[in-house]
Amino acid sequence: MFIKLHVTAGAKNERVVREGPARYRVSVREAPRGGEANKRLCALFAARFGVPPRAVRIVSGHHAPSKMLSVDDRALAREAAKAAEKRRGGECRNH
């Protein structure tokens, strides 16, 4: 899955606002130095989609406010299956 973002780094408050199906406006507290704002951005979207941080990567815009993120579809599917299993309460097995 690809997500388009506009990021404000060094903001007073963190926030994520969805502007469309795959478009977000994001504010992070970290300054845009040494990749800290990008790391925080990936961590926010990993938590938002319930995937490990390694499943989220910046495809373009590493040094710009407009960015494109990629979230690994396989990781999304695994997390969705885990959530569905939890909702069902697991399977009852007789051994």
CB 9 within 8 A of CB 30: yes
CA–CA dist 56, 1 (Å, integer): 10
Taking the alpha carbons of 46, 47, 49, 51 in that order, is the dihedral positive or negative?
Answer: positive
When pLDDT is cut at 50, 70 and 90, the band that residue 89 belongs to is confident
- Threshold 0.85, pTM exceeds: no
Residue ranges of the domains in the chain? 2-88
pLDDT per position as a tens digit, 22-40: 999 999 999 999 999 999 9
Q: Which fold has domain 2-88?
A: Conserved Hypothetical Protein Mth637; Chain: A; (3.30.1200)
